[in-house]
Amino acid sequence: MKKVLLILLSVCSSLGVAGTQQPSGSKSTLPPASSQRAFMDTYCVTCHNDRLRTGELSLEKVELQNGAEGAETWEKVIRKLRTGAMPPQGAPRRPDTAAADNFVSFLEASIDRAAMAKPNPGRATVHRLNRTEYGNAIRDLLALDIDPTPLLPADDESYGFDNIADVLKTSPSLLQRYMSASWNISRLAIGNPSITADTSTYRAKPDLSQDGHIEGLPLGTRGGMIVRHNFQLDGEYDIKVRLWRATAEIIKGLEEPHQLEISVDGVRAKLVTFGGPADRDLSYENPGKSAEDVDRRLTVRVPVKAGPRTVVATFLNEGDAQNDNVLQPFLRTNLDPLGYRGLPAVDRVSVTGPFKPTGAGDTPSRRQILVCRPASSADELTCAKKIIGTLARRAYRRPVTDDDLQSLIEFYQRGRNEGGNFESGIEAAVQLILASPDFLFRFEPDPDSLAADAVYRIGDLQLASRLSFFLWSSIPDEELLNLASQGRLKEPAVLERQVRRMLADPRSKALVDNFAGQWLYLRNLKTINPDFETFPDFDDNLRQAMKRETELFIDSIMREDKSVMDLLNANYTFLNERLARHYGIPGIYGTDFRRVTLKEDARRGLLGQASILTVTSYPTRTSPVQRGKWILTNVLGIPPNPPPPNIPALKERSDTGKPTTLRERMEEHRTNPTCAGCHRMMDPIGFSLENFDALGQWRTTDEGVKIDPSGTVFNGAKVDGPASLRQMLTSRPEVFVGVLTEKMLTYGLGRGVQYYDMPAVRSVVRDAGHNDFRFSSIVLGIVKSAPFQMKVKSPSVQSQ
């Protein structure tokens, strides 16, 4: 294939193939088919059995005369050529960049013209709400924040995301989980008076350091926990704080007295003093009894009104004087599970109740659901129809039919009769709505009047759902649903206003949490546990700061509608004291994050952020391979092939026993021919980031040997560190913007982007280029694209 491309490029260079701006009716002169085949047969000597094939890409049966006919293959060629990955550096008669660009432009123009004349937006399958979407939908439908994690299992992933319809399977056990969730949620939302006392326990991360102030907790405090708890009913609740134990049930820090405050919504429920000589002596004599005694004192029963409340358990700060027991303490305070000295820390907070309940109270969910209150039993049915109809319309994302309402009213009547009151009936109807397929699945029924495989524009209601789950990972709100019901959402001006409104809404943070969190692997941070002997200062405080920096950074690009190229180029970031100290940036104090202008080029953009550098490292060291693969996949869109089986492991130390850098050991590893091919693509990219250690701290040596970050990447560019790598990656903005558009389109459609979607991707990138690649221009381009607004009718008997 390499020489096939080389010959074709040389031919196109000599013929002066036109670019993408040529008129739609113009034609480029190409050699006849017989001449094309002659070139291939004569010049294209290949790597495998003299066939025109390299890896999985073959040009044996494609014709250059009509690029659209072989679009699936030519799209792979375009991707390789756009990034400079093919032909390889050093190949004989390798055409220059201009010739390659002309050839690519010719292919793109040919394929795009055909796609414009005959669009193929792909098919849409039934889409089950994933766990995140389910939780968000409950929040927006019932004004009830829940954690869906204990209610539903994790979703499978495909194409890098967990909202892909093809892998969102349904099973009897999953349906049972949905039924159970609907029962629990409806009881909580209405405030069922028969709810009995239960316990919810919130645990601190084991590596959370609590020797200083924690973001979100009151000033003048140190350590502790803050939790958001839904109190089911008005009544009394036990709040119990359990302190972190060392081995043998010894509570840390009992040598000195300490004060712990328990509060609900900022109102102190109890202030407990513990520690000092009596507690210390008892902990030495009988650690178990001492711990039980402290636990008893750290329990309080308090009356609480129903609804979401903030529970805080934190220590009053006794001063910032440095502990002189250790000359140079680690930043992580609970490194040693055997250590009993130091400051006490909160291990978990438990809430048990309700006890002596007095009623359902006035909660946000009750205000959202009960839009009317019947004055008498004669008014109940009318009010019930209004409540149920309003909820069902939002939940089903469409107008409610008479049949819909009839089945829900029947369920209401049954609940009303069994529970003996109006609210019991409403609770039963809510339970049925939450278990309904119309809520749990996104259906897009095909019009009966169209033939199978017909391409058509989806209706406004389907467009509203696609839009809201794309930008909010949730159901449409009233404004969006009203416009869709009126048939106005399809109007270009109306649609653009809605997109901009939705991006400005706080719910668009779902794009940061769910889209960027998966695209950039930020979700993996929660499972990252670097080796504590190699990195003894790593703790959950740093882990959360890394994640928060990148989330705030991406959020700023979106909220301020900046160019998406700033994701790689921006000269600012967001830091608190912990992360600034990690980076070696002075003058940043406190736990609050603030915007900071970067003075060092190496830190600019995503490639200088510790979150990215950490998730692409191993627990004990960096991984140029993982970092190179991450950039090839998420920035350049040319992921390497999976490694072949039985690859020998990298040597962790030199055979000579002398200190060597990771680079030296990997160069030895690459002498294996099986490993060399892919490593030539990945390693130079990864080595350019080698000055960042496995946690993203800057360094100049590895194993005492000076780091050499220089190299030549696959397209011939010379790099010698993060700045030059970033310059290479941003030299062709359309490549990175194209990859971002592909990833976002995949996420927005809930299916993998295919070769027939690439004309739409290129159209989005071209149009966004006229607007400096601003974030909103990418989103608007996707929303206006054929794959987002159109579909192919299913050939099956039953409409999808």
Task: Return the top range by mean pLDDT from 13-17, 28-32, 229-233, 253-257.
Answer: 229-233
Distance CA 77, CA 88 (A): 13
Three-class secondary structure of residue 308 per DSSP: strand
**Spatial separation of the C-alpha atoms in residues 224 and 218, rounded to whole Å:** 10
Buried b (16+ CB within 10 A) or exposed e, 280-296: bebbeeebeebbebbee
Identify which has the larger pLDDT, 775 or 26: 775
- The DSSP annotation for 36-94 comes to HHHHHHHH---SBTTBSEETTEE-TT--TT-TTTTHHHHHHHHHHHHHT-SSPTT-TTP
Q: Which of 174-183, 329-338, 703-712, 723-732 has the lowest mean pLDDT?
A: 329-338
Q: Which of 98 and 546 is assigned the larger pLDDT?
A: 546
Compute the distance between CA of residue 603 and CA of residue 245 in angstroms, rounded to an integer. Answer: 39
**pLDDT at residue 16 tops 60:** no
Minimum mean pLDDT range among 21-30, 323-332, 417-426: 21-30
**pLDDT band for position 290 (50/70/90)?**
confident
| Highest mean predicted confidence (pLDDT) among 9-23, 52-66, 321-335 | 321-335
Cα–Cα distance measured from residue 463 to residue 455, given in angstroms and rounded to the nearest whole number: 15
Q: What is the pLDDT of residue 291?
A: 84
pLDDT level of residue 349 (50, 70, 90 thresholds):
very high
Q: Residue 337 in contact with residue 240, Cβ under 8 Å?
A: no
Length reported for the chain: 800
Instruction: Average the pLDDT over each of 46-60, 414-428, 436-450 and give the range with the smallest value.
Output: 46-60
Which region among 308-322, 618-632, 745-759 has the lowest average model confidence (pLDDT)? 308-322
Q: What is the mean pLDDT of residues 64-86?
A: 83
Contact 592, 215 (CB under 8 A): yes
> What does the H/E/C string look like for 732-791?
CHHHHHHHHHHHHHHHHHCCCCCHHHHHHHHHHHHHHHCCCCEHHHHHHHHHHCHHHHEE
pLDDT of 654 = 58
pLDDT of residue 323 exceeding 60? no
How far the first Cα of the chain sits from its last, in Å, is 40
pLDDT at 38: 35
- What whole-number distance in Å separates Cα of residue 300 and Cα of residue 296? 9
Residue 270: the pLDDT is 97
pLDDT band at 142 (very low <50, low <70, confident <90, very high): very high
Confidence of residue 339 (pLDDT cuts 50, 70, 90): low
Q: pTM for this structure?
A: 0.90
